Amino acid sequence: MTKQMFKTLGLMTGTAAIALAPASAMAAPLSEAQATALLAKMNQLEQEVADLKRELGNLQQSQQASRQAASSAIADTNAKIAATDAKIEQQKPVKVAFKGAPEIKGEDGWSFKPRGRMLYDFGTVSAPDSINDAGLGFANEARRIRLGASGSIPGGFGYKLEADFADNTVDLTDAFLTYEDGGLTITAGQHNNFQGLEELSSSNDTSFIERAGYTDAFGFERRVGLSAQYGAGILLLQGGVFTDNITDLGDDVNDSIGFDLRAVAMPEFGETQTHFGASYHYRDLGDAITAQRYRQRPAVHFTDTRFLNTGNIDNAQSETSIGLEAAVISGRFHAVAETHWLTLNRNANFADPTFFGGSVEAGLFLTDDTRGYKQGVFKGVKVSNPIGQGGMGAWQVNVRYDRLDLTDSGFAGGTQDAYQASLIWTPVDYVRFMLSYAKLDYRDAAILAAGSSDYSVDSLAGRFQISF
């Protein structure tokens, strides 16, 4: 209350006291001065009551204004909260999944996933004692150390960039941009050029330490180019135009250009997945390349010794090759067969040698697992009972016969018949341990053993790897 209000209450109290005084006291006549004073007091009281009513009215108006301001502020706050909720509702949520590494996805079409792999090999190559070669015996290497990223971009675009750091060098493996529209995929940049089933399947998912001999001997590798892939149901068509590997671009001796075609049929019969494919390849070696060489290691990469070697073949102009492939996956069992013929086209007056490579493979899981497959290539196994969850991981055994013939038209690069077996343990997804053995029979080998070019070599190798 205000000071005026306290004063008014005091006057009212005094008036009440006068009213409550004994009648006998009031009966006494008032003098004129007393009457005048009493009237002044009453007028003052009346004025103060009026002032009090006015102040109460002002206070009520102030309180009403405060309530209105508070209501307005609350309404504004609620409106801001609603607007914020609307913005949050409109924003696309970000999802994070784990596929060996975090994969970040937004509903607007953006995604990002780091990629990488570490493959460490060790083992030994045993040949006849009469061969004195520093590349034989025990060796080990970081076969692949790759890091990169891949993802999608709004509008149907995607990307992948990956580099290999093995051998203390940095080499770009994949570096490309893609565009997808329904079953059509267009790829521009450094990528695989449709050589065959095993070559297109990731090295993370192969059944042996190294791919079949012809893939390396015939120079299968990623190249810079523009390609298209179209998938419709069980059919897959691939084709592209390619030049050299990205590490060779700008080199005066590398100006090749070629094109590759591949067609695949992937029918399923119940729970059995089948695969049938064929490919055609043509490559103009360019003006600078006048000689070509074909050679191969003994089923491992950690040695530079090549028992098969054609040496330089002069007057080379272009390469033409044809590949056939077939596979079946049925439960724990899988089988694969591939062949490839490569013809080196030389000047008109010189013979054109044709070399051959092929392999037949079969594998069986000892656990309740199966080999992965998608869009014309093999994929990694998804472990059904991994270590750490009461299981023993996935165990797989494989056998393979691998033939490579680099002898034709007077060029004796040698012939290799490799009999191979492997054991693979995948304790959890993205981690593998491999043990691989190969017995290689050579005829017309490039390296003589006690004057003979016909002999056998053994190789034993192990690998541990992690990929993401």
What are 90-141's pLDDT values in tens digits? Answer: 665 778 887 778 999 988 889 999 999 999 999 999 999 999 998 999 999 9
**Which amino acid appears at position 265 of this protein?**
A
The pLDDT tens digits of the residues spanning 69-80 come to 777 778 888 888
pLDDT of residue 91: 61
pLDDT of residue 24: 42
Give me the chain's average pLDDT, please. Answer: 90
> How confident is residue 288, by pLDDT bands cut at 50, 70 and 90?
confident
> How confident is residue 348, by pLDDT bands cut at 50, 70 and 90?
confident
pLDDT of residue 252: 64
The pLDDT tens digits of the residues spanning 191-213 come to 999 999 999 999 999 999 999 99
Length of the chain: 468
pLDDT of residue 29: 66
Using the 8-state DSSP alphabet, how is residue 29 labeled?
P
> How confident is residue 218, by pLDDT bands cut at 50, 70 and 90?
very high
Angle, vertex CA 55, rays to CA 50 and CA 57, nearest 5: 95
pLDDT of residue 109: 86
Instruction: From residue 423, give the alpha-carbon distance in Å to each of 39, 209, 371.
Output: 121, 10, 14
Contact 208, 354 (CB under 8 A): no
The pLDDT tens digits of the residues spanning 269-279 come to 999 999 999 99
Q: Is the pLDDT of residue 17 over 60?
A: no
> How confident is residue 20, by pLDDT bands cut at 50, 70 and 90?
very low
Using the 8-state DSSP alphabet, how is residue 453 labeled?
S
Closest by Cα among 238, 192, 210, 197 to 323:
197
What is the share, in percent, of the chain residues with pLDDT greater than 90? 72
pLDDT, average across residues 358-363: 98
pLDDT of residue 6: 44
Pull the structure tokens for residue 391.
């299981």
pLDDT, average across residues 310-320: 96
Lowest mean pLDDT among 77-91, 143-157, 276-290: 77-91
Q: Is the pLDDT of residue 378 over 90?
A: yes
Instruction: State the residue for tokens 């056939």.
Output: 324
Contact 277, 197 (CB under 8 A): yes
pLDDT of residue 339: 98
Contact 206, 195 (CB under 8 A): no
SS (H, E, C) 112-155: EEEEEEEEEEEEEEECCCCCCCCCCEEEEEEEEEEEEEEEEECC
> How confident is residue 253, by pLDDT bands cut at 50, 70 and 90?
low
pLDDT, average across residues 18-29: 46
pLDDT of residue 88: 60
d(CA 243, CA 251) in angstroms, rounded, equals: 12
What is the share, in percent, of the chain residues with pLDDT greater than 70? 91
pLDDT of residue 108: 82
Instruction: State the residue for tokens 């209000």.
Output: 5
pLDDT, average across residues 334-353: 96
Helix (H, G, I), strand (E, B) or coil at 107: coil
DSSP per residue over 385-435, as a string? Answer: S-TTTT---EEEEEEEEEEEEEEETTEEEEEEEEEEEEEEEESSTTEEEEE
Q: Is the pLDDT of residue 461 over 60?
A: yes
pLDDT of residue 140: 97
- CA end-to-end distance (rounded Å), the chain: 77
> How confident is residue 45, by pLDDT bands cut at 50, 70 and 90?
confident
d(CA 351, CA 315) in angstroms, rounded, equals: 10
Lowest mean pLDDT among 12-16, 44-48, 397-401: 12-16
pLDDT, average across residues 146-171: 95
Q: Which are the contacts of 161, defined by CB distance < 8 A and separation ≥ 6?
A: 148, 149, 150, 172, 174, 175
pLDDT of residue 343: 98
Contact 60, 53 (CB under 8 A): no
**Which amino acid appears at position 80 of this protein?**
K
DSSP per residue over 57-89, as a string? Answer: HHHHHHHHHHHHHHHHHHHHHHHHHHHHHHHHH
